Structure 1
Amino acid sequence: MTETMARPPLDKKVISRLTEIFGEDRVLTNNTDMITYSYDASFETQLNPRKPEVAVIALSTEEVSECVKLANEYKIPVYPRGAATGQTGGAVSTKGGIMMDLSKMNRILDIDHRNMQVMIEPGVIQNDLNEALKPYGLRFPPDPGSANMCTVGGMVSNNSSGLRAVKYGVTRHYVLGMEVVLPTGDVIVTGGAHSKALKSVSGYDLAHLMIGSEGTLGIVTRLRLKLLPLPVTRGIVLCSFKELEDAGAAVNAVFSSGLQPSAIEIMDFNCTKAVNMMKPELNLPIDNEAILVFEVDGAKEEVSSQVTRLKKVVEKYASYIKFSDEPEECEKLWQARKLVGAAVGLLKPGGFRVYGGEDICVPISRLPETLREIHNIADRYGIVCGIYGHVGDGNLHTGPVVNSNNEVEMENVQKMIDDIHDLAIKMEGTTTAEHGVGIVRAKYMDVEHGPAMDIMRAIKKTLDPNNILNPGKMALPN
């Protein structure tokens, strides 16, 4: 267990006051609980777990506010946490302190379907929200792969996106306002204290300052989100390509044709192999370097037309095409992409998939060379790796597979992860497009942002002079 606490232990008075705020049953101090809170889904915390000193389970804005006031008084770090599905160490302790568990603040407060918006608490699970919206014919469009587990508050913290970001954008495009507890414990509402408007240009855009700040500037306790109508139907075109370059050319041709797919996903040859191992009945075409899955949505007649047009555009580049606008067949074709994240672990007997270097984004024009270079890096270190992702906006997920009892592989995969992050910057891209910075990508922030990092640090210092909110993340002070 990595020792993270570089400060005196918590005063007994602090524990006593926390108990007054939350009650004895929601203040946790035993070692088993602290170990549980030492991890998120990242490879980093598997290698280096980080224990807080105490965890509190919040149920209201008032409790969050009182806790933060106490922490600010004693200069104790506070780490906001949702479902801990993050992959960057963003929701773990860096120096003891208080873990603020927000997962029980999970109420859908108001579905205002007439005004196309919803008010929720941050602990609502993304898929639970969309299930509640279905009877109204509405949806919250961002759809990360962890939608069955991740909280919307966590999505806002990291500005998450997903499969359909190419058409519908990312989380920030759907946040109309939020209630935030500041590092002083004061509570503000962004986007207008009583507004139900769908847009506003009044004042500084404080909501978008908070979005993607990973809990370093404030703790979100309520969210007002914009909704869209559910699409009537969807269509799928699955195609494979002999060369990576052909897949890249097909994507550019689709955009140039005036089509706007709701998703464009890529799987390389290793991912195809893994999916076929997990679910042979899908029978994905082999002996190709890449597969693309295009999705279009809209009215049924519109979808049929788009599927036909898509097929005509990509058939010039693809060696195999399968398409459908029938719901059951579309779901079957889409299964392959949904399975790939779990399936890549099958590429190496006894191996496990490492979540590291898994979230880079590069310009679309540089995707083919980036894909090939990632495989070159993997070969250089002797690591089996599958690559997949949201090719429509250049977002790639790499899936290295290693044996945990092989020390050489465990060392090499970390070198590989560093090289992938360096490659992203070299390709004029970014080290993260969905999952955030946290601890894992902090060392790249100055290279990516240059002098702009000084402004970010100045904002942090202004809002949080005692540096109590999620310290040590995003290359901000520890």
Structure 2
Amino acid sequence: MDPERERIQEDLRGLVRGEVRCDDVFVQLYSTDASIYQVRPLGVVRPRTAHDVAACLRYAAERQIPIHARGAGTGLAGESLGPGLVLDFSCHFRRILARHDERVRVQPGVVHERLNAFLERSGRTFGPDPAMSHVTTLGSVAAIDGAGSRWLKYGSARRHVLAMQIVLADGTVMEVGREPLVGGQSVDADPRKRDLINRLADVLGRNAQMIERHQPRSRVNRSGYHLAGVLSEDALDLPRLLVGSEGTLALFTELELATQPLPRHRGLALLFFERLESAARAVEEILTFAPTACDLMDRRHLTLARETDDRFAQLIPPSAEAMLLVEQDGEDGAGVREQMRALVDRIRRRRRLAFDARQTSSPDEMELYWQLPRRVVPTLYRLKGSTRAVPFVEDIAAPPETLPKFLPEMQNILKQHQVTAALFGHAGHGQLHIRPFLDLSDPQHVAVLQQLANDLYEAVFRFGGTISGEHADGLSRTPFIRRQYGPLYHVFREVKRIFDPLNLLNPGKIVGDDPELHLRHLRPSELAATAISPPWASTEGARLPASAGPATG
């Protein structure tokens, strides 16, 4: 351990109750996540309380040390990596604090899957469903505005975060929600909070037309700061702004979330297509049935599924070039089954877009069908060889109605660069996860990555889409944000300065000046791009509130 790390470790151990580790093993452990990047931090703090978090931020502000918040390390854009102090919330911030009829209060280290297991006892759920639910923490879901397959029904996390306890860059702990305005001004009793709200209201008010004018037409967008709909005549919605800010504006220590009733019945259909374009054309028809999910898998994923599980080999026709997984839910089982039957009939028989289909309402079969996107897609990263499916341009989104034209253009761009890619997506809301197969130890492949990103993103902009729909900007996409938003990018800078004038909270992410940030810090090729899932990120043993027992049975 070098002298600087040794001094920081000694100082912080005298200030916080949580663990502080600056030794080489810990620094190396926290230098990677599920992205293609590697950045060694100065040290790691596992805070136990909001006081610990505040003490770390005050210490960092005095010494100009960057702070990077982290959950389970499942990020694909390198959003939690950095050269400063990493604050790991997945270890101790794992309590479900309180549950009310339609809301729940949690700490940010609570694992998403465990929260829903807890809510299920009372017939409720937290709707947004990220793919890595079994390890992803709710702080991470809020930090990147996570969504998932069921966005069509539940939307993203932003819709469900009602209030939060935050710690500002100077160590101030603050409770925020939808803050009332009187005559356009805050009358909050706390002068620090009042000043924050008034400065934000001024910036958002002055730039209201620009904010409205520079929004993409895609259904989803989590690139940049979410400024639309934050300011109204009588309120400023701080959670709406802070969700998706990737730890660059404030750190979350408590979250109050809206919950939804669990559906009584669900049904699933698998639709198989001979051409990717046919699947894209089917999406518009499917959306008229108001599905809860509509996911797309290409031939590479389907072939991998057939090769890894005999059940999928029997389920998936060998000639399928694409598949759509469609889910419906409702209060009446017969109604759900009839809706699914009508949907399959229209796509397969009447429109002749799909050549084969499977339909089920059996819980066991539905679980098997859902394993296709949730278990097969991650196996791409475990394929052997130096050429890997790279998460880099994997988060684009376009308006769903443009997919029949956008997907062929995407394929042409890949062909122009002689790149093979795998495609999985939430086609119902236009979200496309494209993973090109590249060897990042080869400088020529790195150059191709840059050119591919430029061309793909230009196509995305032409179709009214976004470079990031749910996976964060991080190191991967921050250099491209200015191109997406134009003059609105300067408003992002103003917002960043209001919250973090010293630029210490996850600096360089979302707002940054390095045009080649996405090409720096590429991890050595021999390290597989897999998420670090520490043992404390399991769903067992986390503490429930004392009131939870009687309330949930």
Provide TM-score, normalisation by structure 1. 0.89
Distance between the aligned counterparts of 2:503 and 2:443, measured in 1? 37
Cα-to-partner distance string for 1:117-157 (whole Å, 9 max, x where unaligned) = 11110011111111111111111111111111111101101
The equivalent of 2:99 in structure 1 is: 112
SS at match of 2:14: helix
Query: Is 2:247 aligned against 1:260?
Result: no
- Name which of 343, 353, 361 aligns with 1:325: 361
Deviation string for 1:171-226 (max 9, x for gaps)? 11110100000111111111279xxxxxx986311111111111111000000000
Where does residue 313 of structure 1 map in the other structure?
346
Q: 1:338 to 1:107 in 2, by over 3 A?
A: closer
For 2:76, the aligned partner's letter is: Q
SS at match of 1:136: coil
Given candidates 137, 140, 144, the residue that maps to 2:126 is 140
Q: CA deviation at 1:340?
A: 3.3
Q: Which residue of 1 aligns with 2:34?
A: 41
AA of the residue aligned to 1:28: R
Q: Which amino acid is 1:100 matched to?
A: L
TM superposition shift of 1:351: 4.4
Q: Within 5 Å, give how 1:130-169 maps onto structure 2.
A: 130-169=116-155
Partner Cα separation in structure 1 for residue 368 and residue 482 of structure 2? 44
Change (3 A) 1:271 1:447: same
How much has 1:349 moved relative to structure 2? 6.3
SS in 2 for 1:204: strand
2:178–2:238 contact (8 Å) kept in structure 1: no
Larger RCO of the pair (alpha carbons < 8 Å, separation 6+): 2
Q: Which runs of 5+ in 1 are unaligned?
A: 1-7, 194-199
Asked whether the 8 Å contact 2:146–2:470 carries over to 1, the reply is: yes
Taking the TM superposition and a 5 Å limit, the aligned residue runs for 1:345-424 are: 351-403=387-439, 408-409=444-445, 411-424=447-460
Structure 2 partner of 1:91: 80
Q: 1:477 & 1:440 partners in 2: Cα distance?
A: 14
The reply on whether 1:171 has 2:201 as its aligned counterpart is: no
Residue 328 of structure 2: aligned partner: 296
1:184 counterpart = 2:170: yes
Counterpart for residue 275 of structure 1: 305
**Residue 318 of structure 1: how far off its partner (Å):** 1.2
What residue identity is the alignment partner of 1:240?
A: F
Match of 2:142, SS? helix
Pair 1:216 & 2:202 matched: no
Distance 1:324 1:469, change over 3 A: same
Which structure 2 residues correspond to residues 233-248 of structure 1 after superposition, within 5 A?
Answer: 233-248=265-280
CA contact (8 A) 2:147 2:156 kept: yes
The reply on whether 1:457 has 2:493 as its aligned counterpart is yes
Instruction: Provide the secondary structure at the position in 2 that maps to 1:220.
Output: strand
Distance 1:90 1:16 in 2: 27
1: distance between equivalents of 2:404 and 2:487?
31
Identity rate, percent: 31
**Deviating more after overlay: 103-112 vs 269-278:** 103-112
CA distance in 2, matches of 1:476, 1:409: 25
Q: Deviations over 1:12-45 (max 9, x none)?
A: 765443111225x7111111211111112111x1
2:472 counterpart residue number: 436
Pairing 1:51–2:40 present: yes
User: What do the CA deviations read for 1:320-372 (whole angstroms, capped 9, x no partner)?
Assistant: 11111222222223322223312445888674321111110011122133322
Match of 1:229 in 2: 261
Per the TM alignment, residue 306 of structure 1 is displaced from its structure 2 partner at its CA by 1.5
Structure-1 separation of matches of 2:392 and 2:112:
23
Report the AA paired with residue 499 of structure 2: L
1:102 matched to 2:89? The reply is yes
Question: How many residues in Structure 1 have an aligned counterpart in Structure 2?
Answer: 455
Q: Cα RMSD over matched residues?
A: 2.5
Contact 1:159 1:212 in 2 (8 A): yes
1:419 and 1:395 map into 2 onto residues whose CA distance is: 18
* Cross-structure match for 2:51: 62
Mark the CA change 1:280 to 1:405 in structure 2 (over 3 Å): closer, same or farther.
Answer: farther
Distance 1:13 1:477 in 2: 31
Further displaced range: 143-152 or 282-291: 282-291
For residue 243 of structure 1, report the CA deviation from its aligned partner: 2.6
Q: Could you say what secondary structure the match of 1:129 adopts?
A: helix
Output the CA distance in 2 between the equivalents of 1:189 and 1:171.
18
Q: Is the Cα–Cα contact under 8 Å of residues 383 and 409 in structure 1 kept in the other structure?
A: no
| Cα pair distance change 1:373/1:276, threshold 3 Å | farther
Aligned equivalent of 2:209: none
Corresponding letter in the other structure for 1:215:
G
1:355-412 residue CA offsets vs partner (Å, 9 max, x unmatched): 1111100111221333223333333333332111100000001122345666644553
Match of 2:550 in 1: none
Contact kept? 2:298, 2:323, Cα under 8 Å: yes
Give the whole-Å Cα distance in 2 for the aligned partners of 1:234 and 1:372: 33
8 Å contact kept, 2:162–2:178: no
Decide whether aligned partners of structure 1 residues 405 and 52 sit closer, same or farther in structure 2, where only a CA change above 3 A counts.
closer
In 2, the alpha carbon distance for the partners of 1:305 and 1:456 equals 48
Cα contact 1:358–1:399 (8 A) shared by 2: yes
- Provide the C-alpha distance between the structure 2 equivalents of 1:149 and 1:418, rounded to a whole number of angstroms: 32
Quote the Cα distance in structure 2 between the aligned partners of 1:91 and 1:359: 17
Counterpart pick for 2:12 among 9, 15, 18: 18
Letter in 2 for 1:42: S
- Quick one: structure 1 residues 455 and 287, their matched pair in 2 at CA, closer, same or farther if it must change by over 3 Å? same
Paired with 1:417 and 1:41, the residues of 2 have a C-alpha distance of 19
Structure 2: state its 5+ residue gaps: 180-230, 515-553
